[in-house]
Amino acid sequence: MLSRESVQVTQTAALATRNIQSKITSSISTHVAPLEALVARWGADADPWEPEWESEARQLQQRYPALESINWVDASYSERWGIPSPLAHREWVRSAMDAARGSRKTTIMPAGGTGDGSKPLLVLIPIFRNGRYNGCVIATLGTESWLHSVVDSEVPRGYAASIWHRGAQLYMRDPAAEFRTTRHLSEASMNFYGMPWVVRVWPTPDEWTQSRNILFALSLVIGLLIYTSGALAVVARRRARTVEWARHQMSAQQEDLREANERLETVIEASPFAIVATDLIGNVKSWNAAAERIFGWAADEVIDQLPPFITGTQREEYREKIELAGRGELIAGLERKRRCKNGSSVDVAIWAAPLRDAAGSVAGIVMAIADISERKKLEEQLRHSQKMEAVGRLAGGVAHDFNNLLTIINGYGHMMLSSLNVGDRLRSHAEQILKAGNQAAALTTQLLAFSRRQLIQPKQVDLNHVITNLEKMLRRVIGEDIALYTLLSPSLNPVKADPNQMEQVLINLAANARDAMPRGGVLTIATKNVSLAEGLSCEGVDLPPGSYVEIAVSDTGEGMDAEIRSHLFEPFFTTKERGKGTGLGLSSVYGSVRQNGGGIVVWSERGSGAAFRIYLPLLREPVEVVDTEARPNGIHRGNETILLVEDEGPLRKMLRESLSHAGYLVLEASDGADALSKWEQQASSIDLLLTDVVMPLLNGRELAKHLTSVAPNMEVIYMSGYADDVLAYHGTLAPDTVLIQKPFSPAELLAKVREVLDARKPIYQRAGV
């Protein structure tokens, strides 16, 4: 009897040992698997967004309270991010990271390299991006409460248990019951995620003494038949309790496993990512709802097959990545195009990580696949916008430099023409020079419009009024074989725009429509109020939500394919024959619309015509009807004194000759400092300051501010190549500032000078700069 009871005690300890071993393995896998999935996604981001990390990590902590902290420490041992407390400065963390890096696998070890029971376990997951080590995500797994819950549920009363690592005790249940003999000790070893464990279970001294005393008493009366049946019944009941306890423990484990599987299944099915699990040769074993939504195939169509989104040319790479993941490496943020069931393709980012079994061996691969089509679309729009902006800056800079040259060319051309008699044979030469100069000036104006550096005068404008006034000219532009229809909303709201630019936009669009309808057709211009509740973001247009006025210019011409549409607004792009177009018409339309705060969208298909829709933000204010002012005729003369400041020598010389020829006394200055010197010599006699805006040392605005502070009755005219000159130094100018845009003719300059001098006001009425 004593021997039989001893065997029973030993068997109970052995069963508890196996249960603890199984429970530890299951529990650690439950905590590590979601960490590895997060790391697979985090490892793809070279500059991760901290709020997103914190949100996901805190959700993981709420689900698994034993995870006391989650940290990212980079390859230089610097902590980049972590909750709730830093780890990187601790020396033992470095040695742990080196071990994980060397194994290239998830590694578990006690914190601090000790095992005194007060330190948690470290879970280290190395991050490799494109084969390059990028540090580790380190989670701390609290041992005290976690191991207590594992051991307490598996060890019956009257038994003690301990858990060891490399001779160091990690946990001890009932420290007072330290074992003194190995006779009834049950011990099991395991190695999980690189960490060797030893589990020991044995009966407590009280339990063994009690069992031994009972057995001794029974042995004294073993010969008495009256007690034989009672003793056998006691043994039977104990055995029954042991079997019942074992059955209960097994049932509880199965229930825990079922609940864990249900939770994991819920998370997988609710994920916005396609979650695809495969075996080690790449055949699909699991396919969630997001995978069906992204690719179109149902789960029963893909199970036990290679993923159908892998085409023939992609299979070799797919096999290579499966092999890498099978060796324990993480694949993070791999961007590829994948095929869908309907024949289309989708841009995706792929993360992959190994799936491990209870022994820690790789048993399969899990992939998280994100649909990044919208992100790719936005990136393409950004690239297009940046390209247009870069070309615009180049075009604006070229136009600015040419405007100075054209002012000189056209200025001397006008002076030459005015000095030649009507019958002089050189007069026609001068006229051709001016004609070419004016054409070049028109080109630079279009370049400035495209680059949004043209000087504009925005006003409150009724676009219906602009279109109505322009209708006769538009009919001349398109010719008699094209019908023009206007559909103008009677309740159209006003906009704030430059009316001259809006006229030029309509003329350029009409000319483009004419060229698209060589055999005639219909051109329609329509206006209406629209509300863009979600704004408008496409084809380089990014308008915020709000109310707009829409101008739709549509034709019945040949239409365009996607390739032509993608280059439509680029300067010098044209589909016309060489010499039949500059390629600047539509680019200037694009720039003018953007400069006035709007956007333009094109719809067109080959053979189906085209529609250009312009959106301008509306104003709910009284409309100012703008009429075109007539250009001044004749030569405007005077005898006032003008201080001319221009750093371009040839241009300054031409301006001086034009002003002197008209009777003005001109004082020249090559820059702001030179102008101050001239001012000191003849301050009292200077009536007008004519200055460039951008100059070295002292710019035009600073010069004017200084001079008008001591001579408030002096007038100022700024000369500018493009709008950026006006804003280049210290902000905008006052509303009543006078600007003349290069290139200008001598007649235009003289008219502007005379206009400003004749409009001089008393000092108390003047507005300062």
Please compute the mean of the pLDDT values over residues 551-577 and round it to a whole number.
Answer: 76
377-451 is classed CATH 1.10.10.10:
no
Q: Give whichever of 27-31, 76-80, 713-717 has the largest mean pLDDT.
A: 713-717
Query: What pLDDT digit, counting tens, does each position of 425-455 carry?
Result: 788 787 888 788 777 776 666 555 544 455 5
**How high is the mean pLDDT of the chain?**
78
pLDDT at 644: 95
Give 87's pLDDT tier (boundaries 50, 70, 90). low
Domain extents in the chain: 1-248, 271-371, 377-451, 459-617, 641-765
Which has the higher per-residue pLDDT, 8 or 738?
738
40 closest CA partner among 365, 281, 343: 365
Query: What pLDDT digit, counting tens, does each position of 210-238 carry?
Result: 555 444 444 444 444 444 455 556 556 66
Please enumerate in sequence order all residues whose Cβ is within 8 A of that of 285, keeping only pairs 6 or more positions apart, or say none: 277, 278, 279, 303, 304, 364
As beta bridge partners, residue 602 has 612
The matching CATH number, chosen from 3.40.190.10, 3.90.1170.50, 2.40.50.100, 3.40.50.2300, for 641-765 is 3.40.50.2300
Give 745's pLDDT tier (boundaries 50, 70, 90). confident
Q: Which helix (H) or strand (E) holds 554?
A: strand 546-555
Fold of 459-617: Heat Shock Protein 90 (3.30.565)
Please compute the mean of the pLDDT values over residues 607-619 and round it to a whole number.
Answer: 87
763 closest CA partner among 686, 703, 710: 710
Q: Where are the alpha helices (DSSP H) in 584-738?
A: 585-595, 649-661, 672-682, 700-710, 723-727
Does pLDDT of 632 surpass 50? no
Its CATH architecture, for the domain 1-248, is 2-Layer Sandwich (3.30)
Task: State the residue for tokens 């598996």.
Answer: 154
Fold of 271-371: Beta-Lactamase (3.30.450)
Q: Give whichever of 289-303, 573-587, 709-723 has the largest mean pLDDT.
A: 289-303
Identical fold between 271-371 and 459-617: no
- Burial class of 479 by CB neighbour count within 10 A (0 to 12, 13 to 18, 19+): exposed
* Secondary structure (3-state) at 730: coil
As beta bridge partners, residue 355 has 364
pLDDT at 162: 86
Look up residue 762 and give its two tokens: 């008393």
Please compute the mean of the pLDDT values over residues 173-196 and round it to a whole number.
Answer: 73
Q: How far apart are CA 408 and CA 434, in angstroms?
A: 11
Q: What is the rounded radius of gyration, in angstroms, for the C-alpha atoms of the chain?
A: 43
Look up residue 54 and give its two tokens: 């914190």
